[in-house]
Amino acid sequence: MSRPKARGWLRRLPVRARLVVGFVLSMVVVLTGAGAFVFWRVQFALDNRLNEDLAAQTSAVRDAARRSKPAAALASLGAQARDAQLLAADGRVLAAGPGLRDHRPLLTAQQLKTALVREIGAGRGGMFSPRGRHLRIRAVPVQSTATGGAAVAVSFVRLDQRDEALRELLVQLALANLLALALASGVGYRLARGALDPVERYRVQAEQIASGATGVRIDVPDGPRDEIARLGTTLNAMLAAQERAAERQQQFVDDASHELRTPLSALSAEVELALSRHRPAEELRDALELIASDTARLAALADELLTLGSLGSTTPTAEPILVADALGRAARRARSQLGGDPTRTVLADAPDKLQVWGDPVLLDRALGNIVDNAVRHGAGTITLSARALDDQEVPSCIMRVHDQGTEMRPDFLPHAAERFRRDEHARSGTGTGLGLSLVDAITAAHRGQLRICSTGRHHLGPSADGRLATFPCQHPELGTTISVLLPGTSRRTATSSVSAG
């Protein structure tokens, strides 16, 4: 239960405090580990030297005890036997050096039993024991040749100086680690504050934008393009995109209001005129025909506005579509609108097994809007064609509608697919101004690309797949060609023509 509570407490801290706490905890672990390593290395060096001295001292006592009786053996060693004992097999102290305050044996009964057969090491006290109470003991068996000789030789060293050095080292390591931890905490705090200050500045500016300020941008500091700078740049790009979207939305609302106001005003005027006085049946019929025409225009405009509003960035009902069938339906739609005009013909040419992945209803709507545009503004032959793009990595196809009518001005091409935009000088006529914008939205929903080409100039719309822009335009230079590039489902395996005069 303590860990979740600790984590919850940590989450409630500000990010800056969490960074400092994490940095401090990491430094505690690192400094503790480094201090423990230094302490262990110093202790190991001191103990190794003491063990060597003790081993030499014990060996000398044993050798002396083998040659002489216990008291004589220790006396022959002088100061070297100051901290030594010679024990009998039953544990009695036969001789002891002057360094011992009493004559009690240094080994317990169990230790003595083991020391009779092999060398052992033992100890008394600890590093924090009173002075003179911390001993390191070594005992070895003695094979004495003298009568009444010792059975076990015991030597010891006092660890007072060693313990004092280690205690001093502990204090110094603790002080040094505390100082290093304090310095590291200060540095960590300054680093965290320096790293998060731009984020706080971004937050303040974002709060200004949220409160209604316009034209405000995140102040991205000059310097290296680190994560914070890239975040500021991304936020600025997002703000610019939101402002452009808001402007387009407002422009769309204004344009839609204007476009709806005109037929509604005309419809209202016609109704008032028809009701102003008694009229013959012929005049009433003419008025109703005008009202029906304006109502149809309103219905078409409302339908296109609803379609534009419902389109997203994907086509949820996508399925494989035969391109030849889609072009055939668009060609029949164009012929029905031409009504047998001898000066106009419609041709459709597409591979019979070429497919695209998309929504059949939306694709028919897009092709229908393109051929409507060609019928309304074009002249001569309208040619619908399609082919697979020759690229193995991008299985796509291009569908084109070409007409020989009045060409678009070059400066209008980039705006031809915008909502409620019309080329009043070249391709004027009736319409809502939403036809090509709807085609563009449908193409974007299919992750494709719309191209509008006229008078030898080419406008390539944006695409979710930048590789589509690498395919060159291939169509007649005279007239106007509108092309739609869409992802396909298979490569072209055979070719046939779907043509009609």
* Residues 304, 337 within the same domain: no
Of 275, 290, 310, the last residue of a domain is: 310
* Residues 17, 137 within the same domain: yes
Which helix H or strand E contains 120, and what residues bound it?
Answer: strand 120-124
Please determine, for residue 386, whether its predicted confidence score (pLDDT) is greater than 60: yes
Within-domain flag for 196: no
Please determine, for residue 426, whether its predicted confidence score (pLDDT) is greater than 50: no
Q: 10: pLDDT confidence band, cut at 50, 70 and 90? A: low
Name the 3-class secondary structure at 343.
coil
Is the CB of residue 418 less than 8 Å from the CB of residue 345?
Answer: no
Please determine, for residue 40, whether its predicted confidence score (pLDDT) is greater than 90: yes
Q: Residue 310: left if φ>0, alpha if ψ -120 to 50, beta else—which one?
A: alpha
Spacing of C-alpha 382 from chain mean position? 49
Q: 168: pLDDT confidence band, cut at 50, 70 and 90? A: very high
Please determine, for residue 495, whether its predicted confidence score (pLDDT) is greater than 60: no
The count of other CB atoms within 10 Å of the CB of residue 396 is 21
Residue 303: what pLDDT? 65
Q: Which domain holds residue 101?
A: 2-165
Count of structural domains, the chain: 3
Residue 9: what pLDDT? 62
Q: E-assigned strands of 365-431? A: 381-388, 396-403
Query: How open is the CA angle 202-215-246, to the nearest 5 degrees?
Result: 105
Please determine, for residue 263, whether its predicted confidence score (pLDDT) is greater than 70: no
* Residues 366, 384 within the same domain: yes
Percent of the chain with pLDDT strictly greater than 90: 11
Q: What mean pLDDT is predicted for residues 165-187?
A: 89
Name the 3-class secondary structure at 270.
helix
Please determine, for residue 41, whether its predicted confidence score (pLDDT) is greater than 90: yes
Residue 394: what pLDDT? 54
Buried residues in 345-370 as b, exposed as e (16+ CB within 10 A): bbbbbbbebbbbbbbbebbbbbbbbb
- Integer Cα distance of 61 and 20 in angstroms: 60
Please determine, for residue 492, whether its predicted confidence score (pLDDT) is greater than 50: no
* Residues 287, 353 within the same domain: no
Of 310, 341, 365, the last residue of a domain is: 310
Residue 501: what pLDDT? 33
Please determine, for residue 500, whether its predicted confidence score (pLDDT) is greater than 60: no
Per-residue pLDDT tens for 405-414? 767 777 777 7
Identify any residues that bridge with 156 across adjacent strands, giving them in sequence order: 137
* Residues 393, 267 within the same domain: no
Q: What mean pLDDT is predicted for residues 157-176?
A: 91
Query: Which residue stretches of 68-132 are H helix?
Result: 70-77, 109-115
Mean pLDDT, the chain, integer: 78
Per-residue pLDDT tens for 110-132? 998 998 889 999 888 888 888 87
**CATH assignment of the domain containing 281:** 1.10.287.130
* Residues 262, 143 within the same domain: no
Within-domain flag for 302: yes
* Residues 263, 374 within the same domain: no
- Integer Cα distance of 437 and 443 in angstroms: 10
Q: What mean pLDDT is predicted for residues 313-335?
A: 83
- Dihedral pair phi/psi, residue 281, rounded to 5°: -65, -35
Residue 427: what pLDDT? 43
* Residues 302, 246 within the same domain: yes
* Residues 271, 358 within the same domain: no
**CATH assignment of the domain containing 332:** 3.30.565.10
- Integer Cα distance of 354 and 491 in angstroms: 7
Q: What mean pLDDT is predicted for residues 73-87?
A: 85
Q: What mean pLDDT is predicted for residues 237-256?
A: 71
Which helix H or strand E contains 186, and what residues bound it?
Answer: helix 160-210
* Residues 297, 330 within the same domain: no
CA distances, 22 to each of 10, 11, 15, 178, 297 (Å):
10, 12, 10, 16, 67
* Share in percent of the chain as helix, strand, coil (round to 5): 55, 15, 30
**CATH assignment of the domain containing 147:** 3.30.450.20
Within-domain flag for 213: no
Residue of 403, 417, 405, 401 whose CA lies nearest to 459: 417
- Integer Cα distance of 236 and 241 in angstroms: 9
Q: 325: pLDDT confidence band, cut at 50, 70 and 90? A: very high
Which helix H or strand E contains 400, and what residues bound it?
Answer: strand 396-403
Per-residue pLDDT tens for 180-232? 888 888 888 888 777 777 777 777 777 777 777 776 777 776 766 777 777 77
DSSP letter (8 states) at residue 488: B
Residue 204: what pLDDT? 79
Q: What mean pLDDT is predicted for residues 46-69?
A: 88
Within-domain flag for 212: no
Within-domain flag for 201: no
Within-domain flag for 484: yes
Within-domain flag for 198: no
Residue 480: what pLDDT? 87
* Residues 279, 350 within the same domain: no
Of 246, 278, 310, the last residue of a domain is: 310
Residue 39: what pLDDT? 92
Identify any residues that bridge with 454 across adjacent strands, giving them in sequence order: 457, 480
Contact residues for 423 (Cβ-Cβ < 8 A; gap 6+): 408, 409, 412, 416
345-350/381-388 β-pairing: parallel
Contact residues for 455 (Cβ-Cβ < 8 A; gap 6+): 407, 408, 409, 410
* Residues 158, 233 within the same domain: no
Within-domain flag for 345: yes
